Every structure is written in C-alpha cells, then in structure tokens.
Structure 1
Amino acid sequence: MNEQVVDISETLKYLSNELNSMRQTVDSQHAEICKLNRKVAAQSKEIRTLKKENSSLRKRLSKYEQPSKDSKNSSVPPSKEGLKTEVIRRTNSLREKSDKPVGGQTGHQGYTRKIVDAPDLILDHSSHYCQDCGRDISALEATLEYTTQEIDIPLIAPIIKEHRHSAKVCSCGCHNRPYAPKKRGGNNITFGKNIQALVTYLNVVQCVPYERLQSMLKTIFSIEMSQGTISNIIQVAKTKAEPAIKLIKDYIRGSSVVGFDESGCYCNGRLDWSWIAQTPHSTLVFRASSRAGKVLENQFGADVLKNITAVTDRHAAYFALDFKDHQICLAHILRELQYLNELDPNQDWSKKVEELLKETIHKRKENPSTKIDASPWLK
C-alpha cells in the first residue's frame, strides 16, 4: 500500500479481480461446509438408527445368554469341570422332580431280606443281674422274645499250604515224580489261584492301581506282595485269557451294531487311552497310546468297520472312519437337549425331543428283544 498509485483504473481492476477470487473461494468453502453438514446429519441419523437397532438386538439376545457347559448338559467330562460346577454336581441331585410319591411305586416287586433257618452261629443274649435289685439271675431260665440276624464276614487271614513233593522209586528203577521239576533259582513260595484271581479282578475289572492294590492286600488280607509280583500275576492272567479275548474280538467283528468309546488313563505317568468296544453280549477293553481313529482300524480292520453301525459320541475321530452307519449316543444327545433347554427356556421343541427320546429308551428297556412299531411315533 506504500506504493504510489499511478493508474487508478488498473488498481480498481486488480482489486475487483481479487474480490471476485475471494468470493469464489468463500462460495466454494460454503458449499463444502454445507456438504459436510449434510454428511454429519446423515451420519448422526445412521448412528441413532444403529443405536436403536443395537439396543433391540441386545434385548433379543439377552435371553440367549449361553449357560456354562458341564457333564450334565454336554459331552464335557467331569474331570474338565470347574470346582464350582463340580461342587454343584456333587451336592445337587441330577434327577428331575417327579410327581410320584417317595418310595416303592405301585406294581414294584419289593424285596426284604429273609431270616435264615440255619444260621452259622447262634449267640444268646440275656441278663445276668437284675436291673432293679442287682440280684444274680444267671441261673434262671430265659424266655425267648424275638430273634435278629446279623450278616458279617470272618476275619480274613491267608492260609499257608505247604506242598511236599516226594519221589517214589519203582522196583524197575523208575523215579516217579507227579510234579514239574523245581526250577533253578525259583522261589519256594508262590501265591495260590484264589489270590491270583482276586488280584486280577481288582486290577482289571475294578481298575485298582498297583500301589493301592498292594496296600489293600496288606491292610485287609495281611498279604505282603510287591508291585512286580502283581504285574507278573496280571501278565499270566492275560496270557491265559488270550483265547477268550480273541473270541470276544471275533464276535464284535461280526456284530452289526457296536458301541465305541474312549477315555484318558495314566500309565506310568503317561497319558494313554482306554478304548472300549461293546455289544449287548460282549465288551472289549484295550489300551492305546492314541485317540485317533486308526486305533479302531488297527484293532478290528477297516474292512470290518464298513459292515458295522457305530454308536459313539461326537469325537471327531469316529467321523473320519468309514462305518456302514453312524448313531450318536442317545445319552450325549439328551445332554445337548438339556443344554438347549437351559439356553432358551421359552422354546419347547428341544424339551419335546428330549421327552420322546426318554420314552423310547423306556420302551426299549421294557421290551429289550421286541421289535417296536415306529409308525405311532412318526405321527
């Protein structure tokens, strides 16, 4: 502005152009501001709509809050439950409330233990002194008022049998020995068949570990036995049982429907898997180091599995095998239906399916060998 104005017309022209440029800039910025305002208004409207929709969805989803899964309503094993869930399961009955009266139901055949006519031991109980005056009444004749019987077992103590092996020499010079020759370095003390059978039963059938079995034998039966001896007894029993195990395995191979299951078990501190194959008449339990479906293929053969309808849980390994058909275990389905009942108490279809399955199971238990007509169930 300190410059000297020479030509007023040129100056006015310059200022006019500058003013027009500023007007264009202002108009452009005004248009942009209007555009942004419209965008903000649209976004505000969208936010209000989304908030309203979110609130509605939250309200709808509130009734679908997933209950925790446990061994009651899912395939979660009890060993995987939390402490709180385990306490509830152990202290609360899982049986559903019934309108039936407590005790034996109508038509149920009761059972009462009967008095034995010839007891092994008779004990007489009578007073020796008068409760009033203290006089000796032991010589007086007593009048029997009533009898009771007590069932007990005698004190268990091992019986030691000494086997004396004698030889006889015939006049012909033959040395007769009705027994096997003594093994060099063999122990002169062995355990009898009853003890071997008991050890095998407790370990194999009742799943008592070696250490606990060793303690049980010492505490209850006063028998000192090392874990190595227990292992040897089990191995001998296994060898003797191999023909029977083969028959069971062959029977299962020829069965049309077989139930399979597996459960973790620790063997010498290592996690192994105890497998089971079961039919109405035979059960085969075997140990494997894996939980994969290959275990069943190796045990029974892939060609055999193609002829079997398998009844299993939802373990993925079973679905990778080529069975003839597949039935999910009804007990697992009932647990999952229970979960759906807890998930949405307002719906009733899962409850109806649960009642249907329970009724069919009850019918089958009442008539285990009768073919049940399915047509009434499909109406």
Structure 2
Amino acid sequence: MDEVQQLRAENKQLKRENQELREKLTAAEAQIKQLIELLGQNSHNSSWPSSRDKGRQKPKPKSLRPQTERKAGGQEGHEGHTLEFNPKPDFIESHRPAQCGHCQAPLPEEIAASKVAKRQVFELPPLRYVTIEHQAETIICPCCGEATTGEFPVDVSNPVQYGSQVKRLSVYLRNEQFIPYERERQMLADLFELPISTGTLQNFLETAAENVKPATEAIKEAVKKAEVGHADETGFYINGKRAWLHTVSTPELTY
C-alpha cells in the first residue's frame, strides 16, 4: 500500500514538472520567434529609420520606369543645356597680334581691330583671405580744439579677429554640409590659406546658435500651437555611438 501511494506521489510530481517545462518551452518559442522577427526588420518592413540598416545588406534599387527600346543617355532630338554668354563680363582680356601673320610687319596699338572673336571662361577668383585694417582717426576740431575719434564697426571689437564672412562660411559648412571641424579647418587652410583652429570653428557655431535662439524659440512656440504636428525620431552614429535626433514640424516650420 505504501508503494502505491509513493508511485502516485511521484506521478503527481512528474505531471507538475512536465507542465512547468511545457510552459517554459512555450515562452522560449515565443521569445525566439520575436527575436527572429527583429533580426529581419529594416527600414522597408518596419518603422525603423534607414540609419538603423547599418551593416545590413541593402537591396539593389529597382527602377519604376517601364522598359523601353531606347538606349541609355541623351535621346535624339533632346534639347541640351550649355553655358550661355554673359552680356556683362567682369573682366576682359584682349589678345592682340603684335605683327602681321603674312608679311611680319608690326601692328601698332593705334590700329583698331577690324573684328573681335569672343570666348568666355567661367572662373573662380583667387581663393585667399584678405586682411582688412580698420583705422579709427582722431581729429582736432579747428573751432574748439577738442579731439574727436571715429568709431570702429560694431562687429570689430578685437585688435585682430576673423571677419563675418569667415564665420558665415564656417557655420554653413558645418550645419548645411555636415563637415567635421577638422576637415573644415583643413578646407579653409587649403582653399584660402586661412590659419584657424577647430576650437575657433566651434566658437563660431556656438555664437551663431545664441544669435538665432530668439528665432528658434519663436518656431518652437508656433509648432506647439499648431493643430496638427509631425514628430520624428531619427537615429544616427557619433564616433560609433548611437544617438537620436528628435524633431517636431508643421508644413511650414521644423523645430
């Protein structure tokens, strides 16, 4: 009799353990399924931004245009786009012959050209920074004998400094073109022979941020009052670390 009771107790224990194992197996299978789905997610089949596709095999882009028998490239009869003559050139370089190409007689400057052939070149000016020296003059009044000194421009506050055009270009390269400080420093040195440090470039950006703060605050308040706003979260990497950019916008404004 004791043996039967022992077997019943063992059977009951085994049933309980079996049920627990079944529950754990079901939970594990659900977790595995979820992990497999996460591994297969990308910006095309989920709400993930495209920046999270890093390291994943991206599908080759497929053209939505229907197949035709036309060859790639410019089509026959297509109107091309070429550079047009500028009616007001900034500079004119004259190329005048010094002697006759037939008898080698000299051609004096007094002889006017019978015809002029023209060609234009769109060129960049010499890319080098210039130094502008501001001088505040002191003048003695001939009437009262007192001295009056002229005033420097408001933005010229130091003995030696960088000008507003340098600051504008720096902020543009950083904010609009996303060029890192070190590459921006090298670019200014290579193109303009301008000596500048990355710390100074960062100061330019911080000053610009302070200057536009009233405008950004006004945009923020306008977006908050909008009836409908669009919120977006975009992930990106800074020095290999995950970061997030959050924006709220309307059809006209973005904060």
Under TM normalisation by the shorter chain, which class is it? 0.5 to 0.7
For the residues of structure 2 that align with 1:214 and 1:111, how far apart are their CA atoms?
36
> For the structure 1 residues 114 and 179, does the alpha-carbon distance in structure 2 shift closer, same or farther, using more than 3 Å as the test?
closer
Structure 1 residue aligned with 2:229: 257
* 1:197 maps onto 2:168 in alignment: yes
* 1:98 maps onto 2:63 in alignment: no
Q: Which has the larger radius of gyration?
A: 1
For structure 2, the 5+ residue unaligned runs are: 1-39, 108-112
Tell me which amino acid in the other structure corresponds to 1:97.
Answer: R
Identity percentage of aligned residues:
23
> For the structure 1 residues 137 and 209, does the alpha-carbon distance in structure 2 shift closer, same or farther, using more than 3 Å as the test?
farther
Structure 2 residue aligned with 1:152: 123
User: Deviation string for 1:79-137 (max 9, x for gaps)?
Assistant: 63447x35x65xxx4432334766799xx9986543222222345679999xxxx9969
Which of 219, 223, 226 aligns to 2:197? It is: 226
CA contact (8 A) 2:51 2:235 kept: no
Structure 2 residue aligned with 1:313: none
State the structure with bigger RCO (CA 8 A, min sep 6), 1 or 2: 1
Structure 2 residue aligned with 1:340: none
Tell me which amino acid in the other structure corresponds to 1:116.
Answer: N
* Secondary structure at the counterpart of residue 283 of structure 1: coil
Quote how far apart the aligned CAs of 1:197 are. Answer: 0.9
Quote how far apart the aligned CAs of 1:244 are. Answer: 1.0
Quote how far apart the aligned CAs of 1:282 are. Answer: 1.8
> For the structure 1 residues 109 and 180, does the alpha-carbon distance in structure 2 shift closer, same or farther, using more than 3 Å as the test?
closer
Tell me which amino acid in the other structure corresponds to 1:263.
Answer: G
* 1:216 maps onto 2:174 in alignment: no
Tell me which amino acid in the other structure corresponds to 1:178.
Answer: E
User: Deviation string for 1:193-251 (max 9, x for gaps)?
Assistant: 11111111111222211111111111111111111111111111111111111121122
Further displaced range: 233-242 or 111-120: 111-120
> For the structure 1 residues 265 and 143, does the alpha-carbon distance in structure 2 shift closer, same or farther, using more than 3 Å as the test?
same
Which of 69, 90, 94 aligns to 1:120? It is: 90
* 1:80 maps onto 2:31 in alignment: no
For the residues of structure 2 that align with 1:147 and 1:168, how far apart are their CA atoms?
52
> For the structure 1 residues 127 and 162, does the alpha-carbon distance in structure 2 shift closer, same or farther, using more than 3 Å as the test?
closer
CA contact (8 A) 2:138 2:147 kept: no
Structure 2 residue aligned with 1:276: 247
* Secondary structure at the counterpart of residue 189 of structure 2: helix
Could you say which structure has the higher helix fraction? 1
Structure 2 residue aligned with 1:337: none
For the residues of structure 2 that align with 1:205 and 1:250, how far apart are their CA atoms?
24
Q: CA RMSD in A?
A: 4.5
CA contact (8 A) 2:129 2:193 kept: yes
User: Deviation string for 1:273-300 (max 9, x for gaps)?
Assistant: 233333222222xxxxxxxxxxxxxxxx
User: Deviation string for 1:294-319 (max 9, x for gaps)?
Assistant: xxxxxxxxxxxxxxxxxxxxxxxxxx
Quote how far apart the aligned CAs of 1:142 are. Answer: 8.3
Tell me which amino acid in the other structure corresponds to 1:155.
Answer: P
CA contact (8 A) 2:171 2:208 kept: yes
* 1:162 maps onto 2:133 in alignment: yes
* 1:236 maps onto 2:186 in alignment: no
For normalisation by structure 2, the TM-score amounts to 0.59
Which of 246, 252, 271 aligns to 2:217? It is: 246
For the residues of structure 2 that align with 1:110 and 1:279, how far apart are their CA atoms?
39
Structure 2 residue aligned with 1:48: none
For normalisation by structure 1, the TM-score amounts to 0.42
> For the structure 1 residues 207 and 172, does the alpha-carbon distance in structure 2 shift closer, same or farther, using more than 3 Å as the test?
same
For the residues of structure 2 that align with 1:243 and 1:169, how far apart are their CA atoms?
43
> For the structure 1 residues 169 and 245, does the alpha-carbon distance in structure 2 shift closer, same or farther, using more than 3 Å as the test?
farther
Tell me which amino acid in the other structure corresponds to 2:205.
Answer: I
* Secondary structure at the counterpart of residue 220 of structure 1: helix
For the residues of structure 2 that align with 1:217 and 1:188, how far apart are their CA atoms?
22
For the residues of structure 2 that align with 1:271 and 1:233, how far apart are their CA atoms?
26
CA contact (8 A) 1:259 1:279 kept: no
